[in-house]
Chains A and B, each alone.
Chain A
Amino acid sequence: MPTAPRGVGNLRGEEGFPAAARTALADPQLRRNLGHATRTIRAKRASVVAEVPDWQELRAAGAAIKDDVLARLPELLVQLEEQVTARGGTVHWARDAAEANAIVTRLVQATGADEVVKVKSMATQEIGLNEALEAAGIAAWETDLAELIVQLGHDKPSHILVPAIHRNRAEIREIFLREMGKVGRPAPEGLTDEPRALAEAARLHLRRKFLSARVAVSGANFAVADSGTLAVVESEGNGRMCLTLPQTLITVMGIEKLVPTWQDLEVFLQLLPRSSTGERMNPYTSLWTGVTPGDGPQEFHLVLLDNGRTATLADPEGRAALRCIRCSACLNVCPVYERTGGHAYGSVYPGPIGAVLSPQLTGVEDNATLPYASTLCGACFDACPVAIDIPTMLVHLRNRVTEAKEAHGPLPGAEATAMRAAAFAMSDRRRWTLALRSAKLGRLLGRDGRIAAVPPPLTRWTRTRDLPVPPPESFRDWWVREHGGRS
Chain B
Amino acid sequence: MRIGLEATCLVDGMFPQVGRATVRLLERLGHEVVFPLEQSCCGQMHINTGYGRFALPLVRRYADAFADVDAVVVPSGSCAGSVRHQHAALARAAGDEGLARAAKEVAARTYELSELLVDVLGLADVGAYYPHRVTYHPTCHSLRVLRVGEKPLRLLRNVEALDLVELPEAESCCGFGGTFALKNPDVSAAMLADKMRHVLSTRADVCTAGDSSCLMHIGGGLGRLSTGVRTVHLAEILASTKDDAESGATHATGTAQGVAS
A→B interface (CB under 8 Å): 17-18, 21-22, 25, 31, 335-336, 339-340, 369, 371-379, 381-382, 392, 395, 398-402, 415-416, 419-420, 422-423, 425-427, 429, 432-433, 435-436, 439, 448-450, 452, 457-458, 460-461, 463-471, 473-476, 478-480, 483, 486-487
Contact = CB atoms under 8 A, between A and B. Distances in A.
A476 B180 CA distance: 28
Contacts of B101: none
Contacts of B57: 423, 426-427
Given A399-B51, A450-B260, 19 more contacts: A18-B183, A18-B187, A335-B172, A369-B183, A372-B179, A375-B176, A379-B140, A382-B144, A395-B47, A395-B86, A402-B50, A419-B49, A423-B57, A427-B40, A427-B58, A439-B13, A449-B259, A468-B260, A478-B20
B81 to A, nearest CB: 9
Given A340-B187, A432-B40, A486-B34, A419 B173 contact: no
A395 B223 CA distance: 31
A436 B12 contact: yes
B168 interface: no
Contact of B14 (A448, A463, A470): A470
B207 interface: no
A371 B259 CA distance: 32
A470 to B, nearest CB: 6
B173 A335 contact: yes
A53 B192 CA distance: 35
B167 interface: no
Interface string B1-30: 000000101011111110110010000000
Q: Is the contact region of chain A dominated by helix, strand, or loop, or is it mixed?
A: helix
Contacts of B175: 335, 375
A377 B177 contact: yes
Nearest to B195: A335
B190 interface: yes
A479 B191 contact: no
A421 B171 CA distance: 34
A395 B48 contact: yes
B149 interface: no
A450 B223 contact: yes
A476 B35 contact: yes
11 contacts: A372-B179, A374-B177, A395-B48, A419-B51, A422-B46, A423-B57, A449-B261, A450-B259, A464-B189, A470-B13, A487-B35
A486 to B, nearest CB: 7
B186 interface: yes
Interface stretch (B118-126, B152-160, B214-222, B241-249): B214-222
Nearest to A460: B185
A124 B189 CA distance: 35
A12 to B, nearest CB: 19
B46 to A, nearest CB: 6
A435 B85 CA distance: 28
B67 interface: no
B41 A426 contact: yes
Contacts of A449: 259-261
B170 interface: no
A429 B64 CA distance: 13
A335 B175 CA distance: 8
Contacts of B182: 457-458, 460-461
